Amino acid sequence: MDYRTVLTTCTHCGCGCNFYLEVLDGKVIGTIPCKTSPTNEGKLCIKGWNVHEFIQSEKRLTQPLLRKDGELKEVSWDEALDFTAKRLREIKDTHGADSIGFLTSARVTNEENYLLQKFCRAAIGTNNVDHCARL
Amino acid sequence: MTNSIAELENADCILVIGSNTTSSHPLIAMRIFRAKQKGARLIVADPRRIQLALMADLHVRHNLGTDVALINAMMHVIIKEGWHNQAFIDERTEGFEDLKKILDAYTPEKAAEITGVAADDIIRMAEYYAKAKAGSIVYCMGITQHTTGVDNVRTLANLSMITGHIGRESTGVNPLRGQNNVQGACDMGGLPNVYPAYQAVTDPDNKKKFESAWNAALSDKVGLTVSEMMSGLSHGPLKALYILGENPMVSDPDTAHVEKALKSAELLVVQDIFLTETARLAHVVLPGATFAEKDGTFSNTERRVMRVRKAIDPVGNAKADWEIIKEISNRFGYPMEYGTPEEIMKEISSVTPSYGGITYQRLDGEGLLWPCPTTDHPGTKFLHKDKFVRGKGLFYAVEFKPPAEVVDEEFPFWFTTGRVFAHYHTGTMTRNCPTLDSEIHEGFLEVNPGDAEGLGLRHGDAVNISSRRGLMTAKTMVTDRVTKGVVFMPFHFAESSANVLTNTVLDPVCKIPELKVCAVRLEKVA
Amino acid sequence: MSDKVKDKVKELLSSGKIKGFLGLCSRDGNIAPHLFVTEDELDNLVVGDKSAPGDSRYPLNRQLINLVRAYPDDTFGILVRGCDERGLAALASWNQINPNKIEMVGIACPQELAIACECLKPYPESFVDGEKCEGVTAETVARIDSLKVKERFDLWLNEFSKCIKCYGCRNICPMCFCNECSLENDELIRKGEIPPEIPTFHLTRAVHMAGRCIDCGLCSEACPADIPLRTLYKKVADIIYKQYNFRAGYDAGQKSPLNFLGGLPE
Ligand code: SF4
Ligand code: SF4
Ligand code: SF4
């Protein structure tokens, strides 16, 4: 038996509520608002209360997909990552760094946003990085 | 936000404009409820009768896209009545005379014609806000998603500065950021013109600093914005697009245009947790991890940096997004050697002055509000305390401009978009939460009872909605939440996507599309 | 006051009597609900007083239900205050838990907390720490009762108009265990709108809590609109008491007069 409560921050809006995800034997079974949080003081909205429901949804992507003969097919990580890196390199070499663009995300962590813009600027060599969050 | 969320409770006047707070930022609405309970005056300026309007001291329903006229008229009244804060204006600001000049013309009577708000109500708004001890302005996408988005924001800043309601506890101009970590995405340099912490890419010193930190040659040319990338794909110069966790097929205006752009990419990489409408078009789809499957931090709308903690391993063969980026970078030939997100944060704090004092250890407990430059700095509850970032606060004399598209005979209804309480953004996550999906599982169009009658529409009827860009069908919801001549639709639902209709015209400065106003025609489906 | 609790839990864990102890611990700079399975974790055990007594209580009973459903053969320990003990008694009477498989470690609440909660019995039958203090009757109910009908009506109307339909009052409630919740019945309460229909949503819940609510106050504390839900349910509980001489959870073994649906299968 493995039962844990893990303190984290909500991903469903910019309020940044804190709650405990209730995890039983590897399954996230519930959300419990954090009483000592400065933002939500033990309360949540409907989106926060149900945030655990999408995490292990059956519709999650669980394997990389690569388009082959017009269709997305499951492939190994190695194949997907090699393909991506190789194509980025080819396009950079033929059309220049500014022919590549990146959209980073308001849904991933700060660390991940930092890393993607660093990859864009330092590895590719362009400032073509933006996010959709004006919308 | 210039001020922290909890401070709102102690404001004695709150002006909520273009924010349906109880739906989109419910836990901030909690603070507004509390302020109200303590006796604050609540002014709601929103074309729709949103929930907060039910408890407002004053609800004005100005015409779509007329925010500048409304706020300018408030300032006109404030100056005329001498309710402005001359000492603050003298000490802390510049450009007041220019502003004053243009405000002359914005009499409440003239503004009433433009906005549809009674002159008396404008005077009351001005009085409530100006006479408050601590007045706070709260706004959201209803202000920014216009061709005049920047004008709107500047006008609100003007209002706060002429009354001195800024730089103090429980005051300020407080944008509620639309998405969960948009604050963080911007702080981390997810913008074409700045490195992390808003350090301009065009500044040679910044370039030098980052070149040495990152050990790479960098470009000093400002990059493309989302909208520019989309047209760059359609018209050639942009060949490849790498999209992390976004769904522009649903979130961006004019879906047909976006689809054409994405389909013309030589390489489209999409990294996401679900096979979104956008991922379906990709050449390669990389399965990332949810917030529950990795460590990291988010920065909320009040600038509070908070921990995200891993609760379970990524599902199936999915991977944490930072690991995916790292692996691609390594294969691309730019080595990255982070073992944990904490190591990435160490690097962030070394190059990002406002995050300089942030460590995972210090984030335990309540997190930290940036700017937090050093490890002994307590963080910053509200901004602009003694001076503005640029020194003196600058007034911009902003004139009212009508929306890019206005109603006419062919397209006689104003169309606007927004959120509903049970969903978030494009619904990628919330629509996969069965409880939320069952609360609201399809898009709908809010139509005023008078208009519905004229069109022969009843509650639940299918209605065709067309604009200059597209056509779609939705269910009618007859409600007086909207006024006559205005219709509203939530944008979370891919199958009835409001953005098939919306306008791509951009704000000239910040390049936000005018998602909040366009003109449509309605027809009952036979 | 956590030392005596720690000693007791240590004894229960080391004797192998319980598989784990559901309580509270100090972790990540916050107070967390936590399942203690080893003795060395006990250093961080707390009873949930951050700035004021009992300000960081958690729905441990609900968590316990999740555990016993997955591990019906195991025995678990749990931290209980007066209200939690009432909750467990009531849950047992509704056949939601097996009391023989639960080891309660009780604490008595200080007077300050009892006053804040207006709690009639701020202590469990047996407790290892704290001191018995006076029960407190509900002044808030009396105050609202003294209002004219119109004023009372307006007060609740204003309160209900703030509801953002988070369902938190139900989600956190240890006594809400129905498989299908009337609050989500579209025919009763239209879905998709906030505030939810006034007063149907709130009165539906109030009626459903009659004879069930054990007065723990977690719903009020979870309400983002600060609606005084506990006061509303206290009033309902008073009515049931007058009619049937029954208060949920105060007398272990006594079934609710409204338990007409029969118990759910064990
Ligand atoms: S619980 Fe609700 S209000 Fe809080 S962050 Fe999540 S979505 Fe936002
Ligand atoms: S006080 Fe509220 S949470 Fe506690 S049992 Fe009663 S209704 Fe449920
Ligand atoms: S907790 Fe409060 S806001 Fe949420 S549903 Fe219950 S009464 Fe409404």
Q: Is C209 in the pocket of ligand 2 (CB under 6 A)?
A: yes
Q: Is C28 in Cβ contact with B30 (below 8 Å)?
A: no
Q: Do the domains B224-287 and B178-221+289-375 match in fold?
A: yes
Confidence of residue B223 (pLDDT cuts 50, 70, 90): very high
pLDDT, position B163: 96
Element housing C31 (H / E): strand C30-36
Helices marked H in chain C — which ranges?
A: 2-14, 60-70, 82-93, 111-117, 139-145, 149-160, 168-171, 200-209, 218-222, 229-244
Q: Which two structure tokens, joined as six digits, stand for B283? A: 């050449």
Quote the crossing angle between the two packed helices C200-209 and C229-244, to the nearest 10°.
Answer: 50
Closest chain C C-alpha to A29 CA, distance in angstroms: 9
Q: Is A48 in Cβ contact with C27 (below 8 Å)?
A: no
Measured distance CA(C212)–CA(B315) in Å, rounded: 39
Measured distance CA(A52)–CA(A27) in Å, rounded: 10
Q: How far is the CA of A43 from the centre of ligand 2 (A)?
A: 15
pLDDT one-digit tens code per residue, C151-161: 999 999 999 99
Which residues have a Cβ under 8 Å from the Cβ of B386 and sit 6 or more positions away?
A: B167
pLDDT one-digit tens code per residue, B282-332: 999 999 999 999 999 999 989 999 999 999 999 999 999 999 999 999 999
pLDDT, position B143: 81
Per the CB < 8 A criterion, the answer to whether B241 and B265 are in contact is: yes
ipTM of the complex: 0.97
Tell which CATH classification among 3.40.50.970, 1.10.10.60, 2.20.25.90, 2.60.120.890 matches the domain A3-54: 2.20.25.90
The ranges assigned to domains in chain A are: 3-54, 65-131
Is the model's pLDDT at C258 over the cut of 70? no
The ranges assigned to domains in chain C are: 3-129, 139-256
Domain B5-176: CATH superfamily is Dimethylsulfoxide Reductase, domain 2 (3.40.228.10)
Is the model's pLDDT at B503 over the cut of 90? no
Q: How far is the CA of B505 from the centre of ligand 1 (A)?
A: 31
Phi/psi of residue C62, nearest 5 degrees = -65, -40
Which of chain A's residues have a Cβ under 8 Å away from the Cβ of B509?
Answer: none
Q: Of the candidates C19, C37, C222, which has its C-beta nearest A33's C-beta?
A: C222
pLDDT one-digit tens code per residue, B343-398: 999 999 999 999 999 999 999 999 999 999 999 999 988 888 877 877 889 999 99
- pLDDT (average), residues B146-155: 86
Q: Of the candidates B26, B364, B420, which has its C-beta nearest C192's C-beta?
A: B420
The ranges assigned to domains in chain B are: 5-176, 178-221+289-375, 224-287, 413-524
Phi/psi of residue A116, nearest 5 degrees = -70, -40
Architecture label for domain B224-287:
3-Layer(aba) Sandwich (3.40)
CATH code for residues B413-524: 2.40.40.20
Q: How far is the CA of B60 from the centre of ligand 1 (A)?
A: 27
What is the distance of C-alpha B408 from the center of its chain? Answer: 28
Q: Best interface-test mutation with C: which of A2, A3, A28 has the largest number of C CBs within 10 A?
A: A3
Confidence of residue C246 (pLDDT cuts 50, 70, 90): confident
Which residues have a Cβ under 8 Å from the Cβ of C262 and sit 6 or more positions away?
A: none
Q: Which two structure tokens, joined as six digits, stand for A95? A: 């059309």
pLDDT, position B210: 96
Ligand 2 pocket: which of C215, C234, C236, C240 to mutate (most atoms <8 Å of CB)? Answer: C215
What is the distance of C-alpha A124 from the center of its chain? Answer: 21
Q: Is B189 in Cβ contact with A108 (below 8 Å)?
A: no
Q: Is C118 in the pocket of ligand 2 (CB under 6 A)?
A: no
CATH code for residues B178-221+289-375: 3.40.50.740
pLDDT, position B156: 95
Q: Of the candidates C29, C158, C194, which has its C-beta nearest B22's C-beta?
A: C194
